[in-house]
Amino acid sequence: MATVTFLGAAQEVTGSCHLLESDCFGQLLLDCGMHQGGDLISRLEEEHFQFNPAGIDAVILSHGHLDHCGMLPKLVHQGFTGPIYCTSATADLLVVMLKDAAGLYERDLERENLKRKRQGKPERKPEYTMQDVERVLDLCEGLDYCETRSICSGNANLCLHDAGHILGSSIVELTFTERGKQKTLVFSGDLGKRDAVLMNDPSSPKKADLVLMESTYGDREHRTEEDTLAQLEQILKDTWNRGGNVMIPSFAVGRTQELLFHLGCLRQQNKLDNWQIFLDSPMAIDVTRIYEKWLELLSDEDTQHLDKDHKAPLEDFLPNLFLSVTPEDSMAINKMKSGAIIIAGSGMCTGGRIRHHFKQRIWNPNNTLIFVGFQARGTLGRILVDGARHIKLFGEQYVVKAQIETLGGFSAHAGQSGLVRWISHFKPVPQVVLVHGEPKAQQALADRLYKELQMNVEIPARNHSLVF
C-alpha cells in the first residue's frame, strides 16, 4: 500500500515536504521546502531529513517559493541525484530563487565563521554550496501544463495543472497502479484565488483517491480586489498628506509583480500622487524579467493592458518606477525624506533590504508599513502585524511608530470559500488531508467542509503517516 508522510507544512504554513512511498514507484518527495523565520544558518543546521536523500527517486515541485523548494540544495548535498519535476517556468524561477538564497547563506556563514575564528571557536561547515544549487538546476525537468509525463521507469504518470498562485505554480496529479488498482493522488500546492490579477484561475481536477489541500486561509475570506485597491489608494493618499514614505515588504515572486501592476493601474486612472516607486530587490527585478518572458502563461485579460512589443512591459506600465540593483542604489533611497514607495524583500521581513529601510523609517509616525502577504509565526513580519511596539534590528532596539496596515485582498492564496469551491469539484468525494495551514485555520475549514459537503478531513501532525 502507498503511504504519505507529512514532514513539513503539517499544522504550519512553511516547510512544505511530503514523502510518498510505494513498492510501485519507490520514494517520491512532494516539495522540499524550508521553514521560514529565525536565523538562516541555525535553521539550515536544524533541518534534518527524516529519510535518506540518496534513496529518493524523484522530487515533484509545486512551485518556486522557498518554503516549497528551499531545501533542494541541501537534499542534493546529502546525496539526492534523481530528477526534479516542475513546470518550465518554475525551473526558470529556481535559477533566481536558489542562487539568491545561497548567496545570502554564504555571506552569513562567512561573517559567522569570522566571528567564531576571533573567539577561538571551530568553524561551522556549510550545509550546502553554490555548486549544489547548480546541480539542482541541472536535475530539473520542465513540464508544460496538462502534459502527462511517465516517471519512475513508467510506474507512475505525472500531470501538472495551473494552480493560479504564482508564475509556474502547479497542482500535482500523480496516477499509478498498485496491486491491480489504479490510484490518483492530487496535491494542491498553493492554490491561488479566482480573479487574481495577472494569474489564471486555479484548475480543478475532478477525480482523486487522496487530495492534499493547502489551508493557509482556511478560516477567513479576502477582501475584494475593488475594496483592496480603494484601501491602498486611501493609505497612499493619507501617507502623502502626512509627508511620509511607504514601506512594503514583498515576496519577490508574484506579489511584487502584482503590486507593480496595481500601481500602474492607479497611475493610468490618475489616482496615484507623484510618488517615486523603488523596487529595491535585485531578485524581484530578475523575477519580473522572467514574468515578462512567460506572459503567455498569465491572464490574457490583464496582460492585454501591457505593451508586449517592448522589452519590459511591466516597467513601461509604470514609468515612475526605479530599479534599485546595487547596495549603493538602495542606500541612496535614504535621502528621500518623503514621497517614496519602497518595495523590498523579504516578504516576511526575515532578511533582505526591507530591514534596512525599517532602520531608517519605522520609528517615524509619518511613514506607513503595508503588509501584502501572509506572515508566518516566528517572523518579524508577524511580530509587527501582531502589534509589537519595539523591535530589535542589527543589535539595536527601535520603537515602532510608523502606521501598520495590512492588505489582505492581495493574497496569492485562495480564501475559505475558494478552497471549498475547489475541493467540491471532486466526484466522488475523495479522502482529504489539510496541509500548509495553522491549526485554527485548518479546523475552521474542516468544520465548514463537514457542514456543507459532509466531508470528513484529516489534519496530520508533523511526521504523521497515512496509508491510502
- Whether residue 248 is found in the same domain as residue 323: yes
Distance CA 426, CA 370 (A): 37
- Whether residue 346 is found in the same domain as residue 375: yes
Determine the structural domain holding residue 206 and report its residue range: 3-220+412-467
Which of 389, 410, 431 delimits the end of a domain? 410
Q: Are 168 and 177 in contact (CB under 8 A)?
A: no
Residue whose C-alpha cell is 545561497: 102
DSSP reduced 3-state for 398:
strand
> Cβ contacts of residue 129 below 8 Å, gap of 6+?
73, 77, 102, 106
Q: Where are the alpha helices (DSSP H) in 12-60?
A: 40-46
- Whether residue 273 is found in the same domain as residue 285: yes
DSSP reduced 3-state for 88:
helix
Q: How many domains does the chain have?
A: 2
Residue 223: what pLDDT?
84
Put simply, whether the predicted model's pTM sits higher than 0.75 gets the answer yes
Which of 391, 410, 429 delimits the end of a domain? 410
Residue 310: what pLDDT?
64
CATH number for the domain harbouring residue 342: 3.40.50.10890
Cell (9 digits) for 175: 496516477
DSSP reduced 3-state for 183:
strand
- Whether residue 205 is found in the same domain as residue 299: no
Residue 410: what pLDDT?
82
- Whether residue 307 is found in the same domain as residue 343: yes
Residue 152: what pLDDT?
94
- Whether residue 287 is found in the same domain as residue 378: yes
Which of 410, 425, 459 delimits the end of a domain? 410
- Residue 432 has φ and ψ, to the nearest 5°, of -120, 135
Residue 302: what pLDDT?
85
**Which amino acid makes up residue 236?**
L
Distance CA 150, CA 262 (A): 40
Segments in the chain below pLDDT 50: none
pLDDT, tens digit (0-9, with 9 covering 90-100), for 231-245: 999 999 999 999 999
Give pairs for 316-319: CB < 8 Å, separation 24+. Answer: 317/260, 317/261, 317/264, 317/268, 318/260, 318/263, 318/264, 318/267, 318/277
- Whether residue 236 is found in the same domain as residue 275: yes
What CA–CA distances, in Å, run from 42 to 36, 39, 118?
12, 5, 19
Polymer length in residues for the chain: 468
CATH number for the domain harbouring residue 169: 3.60.15.10
- Whether residue 375 is found in the same domain as residue 428: no
Distance CA 458, CA 455 (A): 10
- Whether residue 157 is found in the same domain as residue 271: no
Residue 141: what pLDDT?
98
